[in-house]
Structure 1
Amino acid sequence: MNHPSQSALGKTSAYPDHYDATLLFPIPRAPNRTALGLGRPLPFMGADLWTAYELSWLNARGKPQVALAHFTVPCESSHLIESKSLKLYLNSFNNTRFDDAAQVQAALRADLSAAAWHGGVVQSSVGVRLVASEWFDREPIYEFDGLSLDRLDLDCDRFTPAPELLGSATDEAPVSEVLTSNLLRSNCPVTGQPDWGSVQISYFGPQIEQAGLLRYIVSFRNHAGFHEDCVERMFTDIQARCQPHKLSVYARYTRRGGLDINPFRSSYPQALPANTRHARQ
């Protein structure tokens, strides 16, 4: 079983510039989910939305091509893909010739899908969308819609995940709210480097106590966890402590190594959010 310590993360690496799918390093989702008490079926659905800002290859005549890439990794996949390995993999396209962008897209879809279901049957493919350079100006910047929790003036003294800070008015009529914060920070579990992000929590149910929710978000500040794991922990804690009838948690993390990772988890079927970047990304 692949373990993060076995990956290239945090290590000096050669940067291959010829196509090599073996550079991808899948990490099982199961250990973290088991630690959260999650079994099958999962209590959520959704995906990890990636943006790759550094993708280039050669056309058939050797002329460099550039594009942005959006990847949609289904959350039910057995593995997540370690981010540095994805960067190394994308770099391996740099001096490789492809007939056209469709061939690049097909290679990305096949390789990422195989990695996401490492050693198993691919039950749902990784989505791949390429944005050619002539369309870069159509890539907008948006911020989360919703009521900002950051407006609250309060003390914070918990900097590791503290679900006991969460609470809701279970004896009152349910409400529908969208709450946001730009104060999310966690840390890479391998390198210890900070991961900065914003989070949007949408729910219908007993009204969540906002000060407690903001303190809970801040409590991830010294937590070591991959982006995907942090969002699943948030979803699980809010579901257990606040008892919403419907819940979705969406985090957008700032890019590192030309990649951003944006996990979305929802308790009910709905369209995935548009993978539109924030100003900090």
Structure 2
Amino acid sequence: MTSHRPETLEHAPLGRDSAYPEHYDAGLLYPIPRAANRAPLGISEEALPFVGEDEWHAFELSWLNARGKPMVAVARFRLPADSPNLIESKSWKLYLNSFNQTRLESREALIATLEADLAAAAGAPVTVELFGVDDAALAPQRLPGDCLDDLDIEVNDYTPSAEHLVVGEAIVEETLHSHLLKSNCPVTGQPDWGSVLIRYRGPRLDREGLLRYLISYRQHQDFHEHCVEHIFTDLLARARPERLLVMARYVRRGGLDISPWRGTPGETPPLPLRLARQ
């Protein structure tokens, strides 16, 4: 087993051929420091402008019980936004697959192992829940608030630009969402499809401008977590709301989906919540 240490993407398993492990190996987890991507947004690790979590679901989790019988579950992980590292998704998948031929005494033993390994990689406590594959807690739901997607707008800009964000003088409290979010993996260029929810109290956001802004991520290459932080910091700077919550629900890839959220202190998202296409 290798030790956990943040490195650059140059050595990450993402975008490379990989031999899938047959036995447990915590050293497969690949941490990536958050600070490098936050610095260009003016985010200081010592004074984060938000609270939040990265919520992951794993749909390809299996292990052997003490008698060698395969067990399966869906796992939900919650990684705090103030952890020094995020965990690269392909390394996470390889790590989870390393349990496929590993015998464990109980579900509790699996949870304890997952929490310890993920916390070591992230540099902060990570919570783990296991669900049966037909558990009602995983049933799809709908995002609350008004959907922006039926607005008839012209779009010519597909790289993030806060110039699209326009606010009025009226103070409102509203929840808006869109299913048109798309960004791209910063290593492989593969598309990442998602939905985004914005809940705020402050000067009214022009809805057409907000939708153009969200669509402008369409050719942007970045991790899911950093896209959400980018949206949050742009909205905070341009609209100066009293309260703000930004939450994305990304479609799964490789058996993993991720739903990061960032909010001003005191804000909490409508969790747990999963969408039909997740």
Please indicate the TM-score interval, normalised by the length of the shorter structure. over 0.9
1:138 to 1:264, Cα distance in 2 relative to 1, 3 A: closer
Cα distance in 2 for residues equivalent to 1:136 and 1:5? 39
Q: Which runs of 5+ in 1 are unaligned?
A: none
1:211 and 2:208 correspond:
yes
Cα offset, 1:275, TM superposition: 3.0
Q: Secondary structure at the match of 1:207?
A: strand
- Asked if 1 retains the 8 angstrom alpha-carbon contact of 2:243 and 2:267, the reply is no
- Map 1:57-72; keep pairs closer than 5 Å: 57-72=63-78
Cα distance in 2 for residues equivalent to 1:243 and 1:138? 35
Q: Which runs of 5+ in 2 are unaligned?
A: 1-5
- Map 1:1-281; keep pairs closer than 5 Å: 1-39=6-44, 40-117=46-123, 122=124, 125-133=125-133, 135-169=134-168, 172-281=169-278
Number of matched pairs? 272
- Asked if 1 retains the 8 angstrom alpha-carbon contact of 2:244 and 2:267, the reply is no
- Asked if 2 retains the 8 angstrom alpha-carbon contact of 1:175 and 1:206, the reply is yes
Normalising to structure 1: TM-score of the pair?
0.94
Q: Secondary structure at the match of 2:241?
A: coil
Cα offset, 1:273, TM superposition: 3.2
- Asked if 2 retains the 8 angstrom alpha-carbon contact of 1:57 and 1:96, the reply is yes
1:4 to 1:275, Cα distance in 2 relative to 1, 3 A: farther
- Asked if 1 retains the 8 angstrom alpha-carbon contact of 2:78 and 2:126, the reply is yes
1:272 to 1:175, Cα distance in 2 relative to 1, 3 A: closer
Cα distance in 1 for residues equivalent to 2:269 and 2:92? 22
- Asked if 2 retains the 8 angstrom alpha-carbon contact of 1:70 and 1:275, the reply is no
Cα distance in 2 for residues equivalent to 1:155 and 1:21? 48
Cα distance in 1 for residues equivalent to 2:167 and 2:52? 24
Cα offset, 1:6, TM superposition: 1.3
Q: Secondary structure at the match of 1:159?
A: coil
Q: Secondary structure at the match of 1:80?
A: strand
Runs (4+) off by over 2 Å: 135-138, 270-273
- Asked if 2 retains the 8 angstrom alpha-carbon contact of 1:177 and 1:204, the reply is yes
Cα offset, 1:280, TM superposition: 1.0
- Asked if 2 retains the 8 angstrom alpha-carbon contact of 1:5 and 1:190, the reply is no
Q: Secondary structure at the match of 2:105?
A: coil
Cα-to-partner distance string for 1:140-168 (whole Å, 9 max, x where unaligned): 10121110111110100000001111011
Q: Secondary structure at the match of 1:103?
A: helix
Normalising to structure 2: TM-score of the pair?
0.95
Code of the aligned partner of 1:245: E
Cα-to-partner distance string for 1:119-142 (whole Å, 9 max, x where unaligned): xxx4xx101001134x52442101
Cα offset, 1:230, TM superposition: 0.2
Cα distance in 1 for residues equivalent to 2:34 and 2:60? 26
Cα distance in 1 for residues equivalent to 2:112 and 2:17? 30
